[in-house]
Structure 1
Amino acid sequence: MPSVFLQGRPVDSYPSLAPEARRGSVRRITEVGEEVLHKPCRDVTEFGPDLAALIDDMFLTMYIADGCGLAANQVGVDLRLFVYDCPDDDGARHIGHIVNPVLEQLDAPHRRLLDESEGCLSVPGALMDVPRPDRAVVRGLDKDGGTLVIEGAGYFARCLAHETDHCNGQVYLDRLSKRDRKDALRHVADRRDEVFARRVANTEALKG
């Protein structure tokens, strides 16, 4: 079985950074508490070079921040869109983007909940256990308006659900108890500087 899936389709090989990142510019990542992260995003209705350029920027920004997924509102853009470069539990790598994503509600026989560690580039430095289904199916469009269906299992399913939540105006903290949310925000306060220093170092390394 191929170990790389591009836009849900198997490919023989793929570079360590998606080619989009080579064309992109780094954008500032929004942080929890900023309004754009806490309201549902608008549907993408215009497809063309501006959307493609946004996707390029999102890929590069995701890599700089050591992420496996990034939604448009995490770079301050109020649109339903995310990019990803994420492994599943079998080690297969999944790369792509999806516009106007909708997460299917799967029946219980087709999924089980896993309570595993989850982080977020907009909640820098915090990792918390979040219950998510072990399988996800997301339907949407590609940057040219073509139909897409992306399926994921394990960690990749978690990524798909997490990023679709962003498009709906939710961060993973919204799925935690008040106590766990407080713990997460305390971790952010303790580790934020370290996380940002690493992002700066990654930017410099990429320039080199």
Structure 2
Amino acid sequence: STIAHLIARYYDVSAGRITFDGQDLRDVTLESLRQSVSIVQQQPFLFTASVDHNVAYGDPWAGRSSIERSSAAAQLHNYIKKLPTGYGTLVGERGVSLSGGQRQRLSIARGVLVDSNVLVLDDSTAAVDAATEQRIRSAMKEVVKERAVVIIAHRLSSLMHADEIIFLEDGHIVERGNHEELLALGGRYRELFDLQSIDDHEDGA
């Protein structure tokens, strides 16, 4: 989450620098940065408003087809259609009428809808089961294929298809590479991946 906050410039680095297309983020205006980077938080903030207004928070001029497309990518569209008034259904304050996984999926739909250059997913599927998460990843490939996607996750299966994985421990990079390279390395990534695979198998048994 610290990395996501630094990318969004919720606060600036105290040492070193972060660059965006070769430019120091501190030299980029916050307005320009907000237009270029969308962040889906692990604990999203939802408003006392309709479902469609919550999805379209970052792009209030979005049409219904775009809202439904992003919701479908987040595996939320079919659920919304079953609500009393569909996309017009009121979401309670902070999304109290939704489960944790539904709140996260609504936030993902919101992030997908915004046409930014970079999409940051900050452990955004932590409350979603592994099977639903995989469907979300598959559906999102098409809708975000022209964007850079940064995935911050503790569930390593979320990262299997990433171009590059950076494995952090205690704030330091200990391993980096793609999934196959890190498995072959036989280090901490492999150890944790194998452990999580056993847990997933037992949960599904």
Q: Give the TM-score of the pair, scaled to structure 2.
A: 0.25
Higher strand residue share: 1
Relative contact order: is structure 1 or structure 2 higher (C-alpha 8 Å, sep ≥ 6)? 1
Higher helix residue share: 2
